């Protein structure tokens, strides 16, 4: 149980285009989903916390107009990287917490590797 | 100062060796603590939670010292398959902070 999927698993796009990444909880409802970014040999950095039906909360330094997050249902959150640039190339990972569950554990998706040329 | 600090390694050890990783955290209000394992180009996977009383899962032992804000992971009888990056994770509600990870390579 507690499986999180991401799509696509990898994407290459040209500079200036937008890319949408989907994060789905497959066998549970997730009130809260998280988006992380990881550059090579660095730790995961939280970008934003996404609650179903409300606006995402962004971490300091993360541009909300560039990284659009939509959490329209209890099983799906999307991250759109708008006007992508080479410096946005990174490994983007989502995670989800089980709705109404007391554990603080988060379940991670397999990640999406974005390369902007 | 980083919120969660780990020795980046790399640790290169022979099979069967015992290896220990340390981690310190700065936020005394942190509530829960974990060790995650991350293989190259993969997502992190939960290895074990860490409790003040210490906990053991097979060859893995985790310890937490809240007074010193220090977490440790001990791996005994290391296997080739233990090669990975080990992430120390500190959590408050909806606020999970990752260390940069300690890279372990176990060699035959």
B106 versus B93: the higher-pLDDT residue is: B106
Question: In this prediction, what percent of chain A has a pLDDT beyond 70?
Answer: 94
- With a CB cutoff of 8 Å and minimum separation 6, the contacts of A71 are A33, A50, A51, A52, A53, A54, A56, A77, A78
Residues of B in contact with A110 (CB under 8 A): 42-43
A-B interface: how many C-beta pairs under 8 angstroms?
A: 44
CB contact under 8 A, A104 and B42: no
Closest CA to B21 of B67, B52, B61, B54: B61
Tell me which residue in B41, B94, B99 faces A43 most closely, judged by beta carbons.
B99
Residues of A in contact with B32 (CB under 8 A): 104
- Compute mean pLDDT per 10 residues along chain A, 117 residues long, and list them: 89 96 91 90 88 88 94 91 96 86 77 95
B1 versus A52: the higher-pLDDT residue is: A52
pLDDT for position A63: 94
Residue B101's closest chain A neighbor by CA?
A43
pLDDT for position B11: 94
pLDDT for position B9: 85
Output DSSP code: residue B13.
E
């Amino acid at each position: 149980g507690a499986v999180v999927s991401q799509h696509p698993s990898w994407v290459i796009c040209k500079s200036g285009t937008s890319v949408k990444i989907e994060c789905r909880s497959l066998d549970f409802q997730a009130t809260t989903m998280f988006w992380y970014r990881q550059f090579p040999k660095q730790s995961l950095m939280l970008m934003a916390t996404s609650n179903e039906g409300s606006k995402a909360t962004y971490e300091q330094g993360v541009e909300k107009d560039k990284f659009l997050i939509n959490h329209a249902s209890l099983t799906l959150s999307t991250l759109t990287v708008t006007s992508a640039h080479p410096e946005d190339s990174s490994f983007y990972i989502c995670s989800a917490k089980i709705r109404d569950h007391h554990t603080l554990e988060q379940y991670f998706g397999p990640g999406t590797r974005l390369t902007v040329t | 100062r980083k919120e969660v600090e780990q020795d980046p390694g790399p640790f290169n050890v022979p099979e069967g060796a015992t290896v220990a990783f340390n981690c310190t955290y700065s936020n005394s209000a942190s509530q829960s603590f974990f060790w995650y394992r991350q293989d190259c180009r993969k997502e992190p996977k939960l290895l074990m939670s860490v409790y003040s009383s210490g906990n053991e899962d097979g060859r893995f032992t985790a310890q937490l010292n809240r007074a010193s804000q220090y977490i440790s992971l001990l791996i005994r009888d290391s296997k080739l398959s233990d090669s990975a990056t080990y992430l120390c994770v500190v959590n408050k509600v909806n606020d999970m902070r990752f260390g940069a990870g300690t890279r372990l390579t176990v060699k035959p």
